[in-house]
Copies of this chain bind each other. A is one copy, B any other.
Amino acid sequence: MLIVQKYGGSSVGTLERIRACAQRCLESQRAGHDLVVVVSAMAGETNRLIDLANRLRALGRGDEVTRGKGPYVAVDGAGDPVHERELDQLVSTGENVSAALLAMAIHDLGGAAISLVGHQIGMITDRTYTNARIKELRGDRIRSEVAAGKIVVCAGFQGLDAEGNITTLGRGGSDTSAVALAAAIDADVCEIYTDVDGVYTTDPRIEPRARKIREITCEEMLELASLGAKVLQIRSVAFAMKYGVAVHVRSSLNHNEGTWIVSEYRSMEAPLVVGVALDRNEAKVTLARVPDVPGVAAMIFNRLADAGIVVDMIIQNASRDGTTDLTFTVPENDLARSVAELRSLHYLGSGGSGSGEVEILSDPEICKISIVGVGMRSHSGVAARAFQILADEGINIQMVSTSEIKVSVVVHEKYGELALRALHAAFGLDQEPASAAS
């Protein structure tokens, strides 16, 4: 098999762990596989580099700046394309360092390896610095090095635009690099190594009976973003779906099977529901008595989009007396700003042109629970069953939104965990599915 393996920042966080990765690579090769490896920067390195850039900017302003802390250092100067170009030239070096070190470690262990960076890999992107999109990947060099028996270690996260400027794919972009690479060289599987065992049916910190999912489709994974985002960059899943790459998310600390993210279930029957996710970071806004005339909704959501606020669920009730109620959810952090933006809309702030005043109500104390499964496509009644389960627990449903493979409900924040556990159990997620036991 031709395998792409991706090792994240914590997997290459120390020289000892780099050596462990090298050993793992060699085991795969000895098992008869051809191997292309994609690495992130050593844990902390990207932040160190961003921090250098931030402190340099602060010098210019005469600010006192202390070293950045926490998992992610905020980027100062975002939105300035000249600065962002240089940021990409700067931070891409982090992946180059780990790629070279991993190749050295494989060589030290007696293996044949070569590291490749941006221009050697041939990944062409657009010019959206710090968050570029892949346009083309020429795998010639990679293929010829693999054919020569080498383990090819690629620096993840980075690409080049058409003029050779370095671009990066956004936080966690190495996952996307790996999947794109797997697609370009037609690999049999893309293994994403991380420090967890795979994707779970729900958050094990809330429901200890959560079970590792053996197999999940890309579509489901995308809908379960809030579960999956901790495990792999969700954009890489869209890529895997588009190019039909089989992704295997697994731990770099053991040899257990992890979770396979696939285009279609290999087992005969898809499970009805594959996972349940809880999102506590949403808040609800209701606009009551909005004049029910064309263009009002567009005006409202354009304003929010212009302010960079991502609206999730939108519900509009049936019209009554020429007005309607419009309810939607936004990230809880953006709630105050959303309300301010809406008030500043002359049309709403002044009471609109219709009869009566538009009322803006907001509620941060909500959460969203999503049930996901491609099996819903062929089985009606999943939504109804979910509503019944919540009713049995005495939980009031405030909003509902459904797609072909997802049912999301908004409930009061205090019921979130209860609702999650009830649904997890009722859809049998704590039990190994029979169809996957083969």
Contacts and interface: CB of A to CB of B under 8 A. Distances in A.
Interface of A: 15-16, 18-19, 49, 52-53, 55-57, 59-60, 77, 80, 82-83, 85-87, 89-90, 92-93, 96-97, 99-101, 103-105, 107-109, 112-115, 117-120, 141, 164-166
A185 to B, nearest CB: 18
B90 A60 contact: no
Copies of this chain held together in the complex: 2
A119 B164 CA distance: 8
A113 B83 CA distance: 10
A90 B86 contact: no
25 contacts: A15-B52, A15-B55, A19-B60, A49-B97, A56-B101, A56-B105, A57-B104, A60-B108, A60-B109, A77-B104, A80-B107, A82-B112, A82-B114, A83-B107, A86-B104, A87-B100, A89-B99, A89-B117, A90-B96, A90-B100, A90-B104, A117-B166, A119-B119, A120-B165, A141-B164
A295 to B, nearest CB: 42
Nearest to A95: B93
Contacts of A100: 53, 86-87, 89-90
A109 B164 CA distance: 26
A436 B19 CA distance: 61
A259 B62 CA distance: 35
Given A19-B56, A93-B93, A104 B120 contact: no
Contacts of A53: 100-101, 104
B101 A52 contact: yes
A418 to B, nearest CB: 49
A100 B91 CA distance: 9
Contact of A59 (B15, B107, B113, B117): B15
